[in-house]
């Protein structure tokens, strides 16, 4: 769950890294989903660094610190280097169902993603 993830991100376990949130950002007419790193929060208000180049939402840019609300969070992820697994990233699992099976399996193998 998001709450469990946020607890882990506040006090990361040894051999874990890459804690990120996927956030829906709108500019009025367009909505785009971005990975946000280096995030922090006070209650339901968050801020972090945009880790994707915007394509549709032109009011932000890669590397910019943005603010967002908890209800804008769509996904989360982090890497466990000890087990060589990517945890979370449920949106990638959903998108991989639309890819050719060989490509999907290669992506999962490359990133240690398990879509259960």
Q: Given this model, what pLDDT does residue 9 score?
A: 96
**CA R_g for the chain:** 15
Read off the tokens for 34. Answer: 């971005």
Cα separation, 57 vs 17, in Å, equals: 28
The tens digit of pLDDT for each residue in 12-69 reads: 999 999 999 999 999 888 999 999 999 999 999 999 999 999 999 988 999 999 999 9
CB atoms under 10 Å from CB of 108, counted, come to 16
pLDDT value of residue 80: 94
Q: How far is CA 31 from CA 9, 59, 60, 114, in A?
A: 26, 11, 12, 27
Residue with tokens 């376990």: 13
Cα dihedral angle (105, 109, 115, 116), rounded to 10 degrees?
Answer: 100
Closest to 16 measured CA to CA, from 83, 114, 89 = 83
Tens digit of pLDDT for each residue in 56-108?
A: 998 899 999 999 999 999 999 999 999 999 999 999 999 999 999 999 999 99
Beta bridge partners of 48: 66
- pLDDT value at residue 33: 96
């Amino acid at each position: 769950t998001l709450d469990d993830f946020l607890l882990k991100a506040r006090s990361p376990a040894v051999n874990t890294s890459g804690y990120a949130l996927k956030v829906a950002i709108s500019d009025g007419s367009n909505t785009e989903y971005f990975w946000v790193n280096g995030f922090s929060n006070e209650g339901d208000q968050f801020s972090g660094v945009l880790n994707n180049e915007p394509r549709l939402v032109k009011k932000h840019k890669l590397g910019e610190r943005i603010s967002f609300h908890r209800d804008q969070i769509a996904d989360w992820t982090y890497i466990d280097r000890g087990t060589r697994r990517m945890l979370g990233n449920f949106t990638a699992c959903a998108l991989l169902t639309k890819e050719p099976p060989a490509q999907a399996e290669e992506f999962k193998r490359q990133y240690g993603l398990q879509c259960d």
